[in-house]
Chain A
Amino acid sequence: MTSRRPTPGSQTSLREANRARIVDSLKVYGRLTQVELAGVTGLSPATVSNIVKELSGYGIVHTSASSRSGRRAVEVTLARQLGLVAGLHFSSRHLRVAVADVAHTVVAENSVPVALEHRYDRELDRAALLLSDMLETLGAGLPDLLAVGLALPVPVDRTTGRVSAPGILRGWEGVHIGEELEARLQRPVVVDSDADVGALAEYRYGAGTDARGLAYVRVGHTISGALIIGGEVFRGTTGKAGQIGHVTIDENGPICRCGSRGCLETLAGGPALLDLFRGDPGMQRLRDLLARAESGDASARRVIADAGRHIGIAAANLCNLFDPDVLVVGGELATAGETLLAPLRHSLERSVLAGLTDSPRIVRGELGERAELVGAVALAIESIGVVGDSAVASVGA
């Protein structure tokens, strides 16, 4: 859980950090008594009581009288406004689930590792069960959900509701994904690609709030991208717009899972990078590579830098076509920071059309790996507005 602090070490920052600890714990557990909060956060009961009082004054938490093992207790939950939504994000290796109120306040969050080659039915079953368990800890149920936003690591055609680029996420092809999840939850579901919602989240709440045109590149196990033009996500006709991972870098390069050759992903995607360390048991996942680079391992840093260079070439093409003023780099590999971004910037600047002012500003995403989850929640909330007041009315009735 990340928390932004003002001046480290000061009394204010300490207090803010303690507040964040309490709010974060409530997101994880749903409902807790003050005594349990003290145990979970490691803060003293007096501090917890003070902060809870303060937060409850601001309307951030809600307290109610309860009892635990026969004793009176004060139960604390995150306060929420009428109506809940859920955001689900399947990345290549994780399923993340968040429950939020319509004011975008996340009140519960959970995640679970998933297998690379998974099938949609089993994972949707699991997501539905996880979600209903999470709602239960909040004292709510599936009927309280106004809408659900689902983000997938593949372009989704919003008119057909199906995966629009075959080969990328095999276990999810050929089904109307939204309807499948709706059948399990009995609630309205909106589906989009994770790059699109990640871009939306960074544009609204993250690194791109001042952008007029934003390009988002998500680099992790896979490489995807999205565009925001005129404040709206530009999806193209079938949702494939901005898929930078499948820009051809080398005509004669390795065969890509999309069926083409030499795509950016075959050179800079997670498996391609890890393949360079084949036979090294300490290098099995991207986080191993990132940890090595962090500790100063030259080959790990070189591999990440080369990935940055390749992404820069593709991103330059994207920038030449759509002329954004900010390029946000998100996904797991972005945590490498300048190790990735400096070479990316360098190679982009070589091939991008020079303007009178500067070339696009290249920044790391501020929301980190949660961007897509935040975006999925935003997607769900937005859909309520589109559906109109009928959804809200039906819950209120």
Chain B
Amino acid sequence: MPGPALSVARPDEHPDRILSLRGITKRFGAVRALTGVDLDVHVGEVVAIVGDNGAGKSTLVKILAGVHPADGGSIRFFGQLTPIDSPTDSLDLGIATVFQDLALCDSLDVVSNLWLGRELTRAGALDEVEMEKRSWGLLRELHARITDVRVPVASLSGGQRQTVAIARSLIGDPHVVILDEPTAALGVSQTAEVLNLIERLRDRGLGVILVSHNIADVLAVADRVVVLRLGRNNGEFRASETSSDALIAAITGAMDHSRRGGDDPE
């Protein structure tokens, strides 16, 4: 009969850990937006960051995207201590961020949006054929529900626009993709599209950071859920072992999971 559960021995180093944040602190004047926040992201893992408004989710995303440099704490990328001081640093490391406003050019078509700023050229001219070919390749790989890549992005649905924005982030072959509220303001079918897309990013071995308000969506696709509250970590949960009630309790502060609760100076 079965013996006691055998635990598989774990090596001490973490070759799968893409990103490791420790004690990240950020102040805006007198406002402490983040205080000692920790976050890990591994290969092929979807980590959700949830929290109320003002919990520090966006600030954390902006630190990773290089919009604001962190005031304190360490950022390690594949174990290497790496400061992120500018958006270029972030991109060079292989962190792609899809902001909530998507930053698409409405009047340009899908191909132009995907390659904007990174256009392929041949003999000094734009290589439209190659770009279109590769765009189709990428969109097909993502099973994207886009039927025409030569229509202006303005004519696409919300889900399709989100798909284009996510596909664009993949052009630079990133290690981590950050999605800021990807399902906000989307209908049911479009949300389904985006959630399926997140699963595909995971299957590609990318680390995905999902910032969302929607607990049901988070529990559907995330592997781990990191709760932020008032700029601090307030618990980390395995999505398969938690419930929406437990998450909401952590978000509202009904449950205190902060590890530094005892020696809080305030």
Interface residues of A (CB under 8 A from B): 28-29, 32-33, 35-36, 39-40, 42, 68-69, 93, 110-118, 122, 126, 129-130, 133-134, 249-250, 253, 267, 271, 274-282, 284-285, 287-288, 299, 306, 310
Contact = CB atoms under 8 A, between A and B. Distances in A.
Nearest to B41: A281
A39 B149 contact: yes
Contacts of A116: 219, 239-240
B143 interface: yes
Of B7, B220, B221, B224, the most chain A CB neighbours within 10 A belong to: B220
Contacts of B151: 69
A129 B219 contact: no
A2 B2 CA distance: 37
B220 A129 contact: no
A282 B8 contact: no
A29 B147 contact: yes
Interface in B133-186: 136-137, 140, 143, 145, 147-149, 151
A117 B243 contact: yes
Interface string B204-245: 000000000000100111011000000000000011100110
Contacts of A282: 16, 42-45
B213 to A, nearest CB: 15
23 contacts: A28-B145, A39-B147, A42-B137, A110-B189, A112-B196, A113-B195, A115-B244, A249-B1, A250-B2, A253-B2, A267-B2, A271-B240, A280-B8, A280-B10, A281-B14, A281-B16, A281-B40, A281-B45, A281-B223, A284-B223, A284-B239, A285-B240, A306-B2
Contacts of A271: 240
Contacts of A32: 147
Contacts of A110: 189, 192
Contacts of A118: 216, 219
A232 to B, nearest CB: 35
A interface majority secondary structure: mixed
Contacts of A39: 136, 147-149
A133 B2 contact: no
B23 to A, nearest CB: 20
Contacts of B68: none
B17 A113 contact: no
A50 B148 CA distance: 21
B48 to A, nearest CB: 11
Interface residues of B, number: 44
Contact of B238 (A111, A276, A284, A310): A284
B129 interface: no
Contact of B147 (A36, A122, A130): A36
Nearest to B147: A36
B30 interface: no
B6 interface: yes
B195 A112 contact: yes
A299 B8 contact: yes
Nearest to B5: A276
A249 B8 contact: no
A330 to B, nearest CB: 21
B54 interface: no
A276 B6 CA distance: 6
Contact of B7 (A33, A130, A249, A276): A276
B187 interface: yes
Q: 3 shortest A-B CB distances, which residue pairs?
A: A115-B219, A112-B192, A129-B188
B199 interface: yes
B136 A249 contact: no
Contacts of B223: 281, 284-285
A113 B16 contact: no
Interface string B1-37: 1100111101000101100000000000000000000
Nearest to B133: A42
B216 A115 contact: yes
A284 B7 contact: no
Given A271-B240, A275-B5, A282-B43, A113 B196 contact: yes
Contacts of A279: 7, 10
B44 A288 contact: yes
Given A274-B240, A279-B10, 15 more contacts: A35-B148, A42-B136, A42-B137, A112-B192, A113-B199, A115-B219, A115-B244, A129-B188, A130-B188, A249-B2, A250-B1, A250-B2, A271-B240, A279-B7, A284-B223
Given A282-B44, A310-B2, A133 B220 contact: no
A284 B240 contact: yes
A287 B223 CA distance: 12
A113 B243 contact: no
A244 B189 CA distance: 35
A277 B244 contact: no
A18 B133 CA distance: 18
Contacts of A306: 2
A174 B225 CA distance: 30
Nearest to A278: B7
Given A129-B188, A133-B189, A40 B240 contact: no
